Amino acid sequence: MAKDKPAPASGRFAYEGLERALHEKARLGLLTSLVANPEGLAFNDLKELCALTDGNLSRHLKVLQEAGLVEVEKGFEQNRPHTLCRMTAQGRRRFLDYIGVLEQVVRDAARGANSAIAKGHAKRGKPGWSTA
């Protein structure tokens, strides 16, 4: 009966910490590149590392800038225009918090997959399924 089932832990898998500005696939790659290079990366190197077009990279950098995660410096190197992208201190903190939540997702998924194997998928299709 429904009332005999254990109540699911409310919001257990809501993962509120997965901030949208950081969670998008391309931006996740950009931030992972930048966290290793606190001194910054050139626009063209970032483009290459993350396999993005000029337009896509510009668009994603704008989102990251507006969210306060990244700063962009336009200047010259060898008399040629040059754009340097750097993670802000706040960006670094928020990114590492976000990565902590991602780690939790990986742990939850691995634990869930293993417990499903342990259960042997035996209850498949039967009523009275359990909640996580």
Name the residues that contact its own copies, by CB under 8 A: 1-2, 5, 7-16, 18, 20, 23, 25, 28-33, 35-42, 45, 48-52, 77-78, 84, 92, 95-96, 99, 102-103, 105-106, 108-113, 115-116, 119, 121, 123-127, 129-132
- Toward its own copies, which CB reaches closer, 35 or 67? 35
What value does the CA radius of gyration of the chain take, rounded to a whole number of Å? 21
- Toward its own copies, which CB reaches closer, 67 or 108? 108
CB of 67 to its own copies, least distance (A): 16
- Toward its own copies, which CB reaches closer, 55 or 125? 125
Q: Which amino acid is present at 123?
A: K
Residue 71's φ and ψ, nearest 5 degrees, are -120, 145
CB of 65 to its own copies, least distance (A): 18
What is the distance in angstroms between the CA of the first residue and the CA of the last residue of the chain? 17
CB of 81 to its own copies, least distance (A): 12
CB of 57 to its own copies, least distance (A): 12
- Toward its own copies, which CB reaches closer, 59 or 110? 110
The answer to whether 59 and 21 have CB atoms below 8 angstroms apart is no
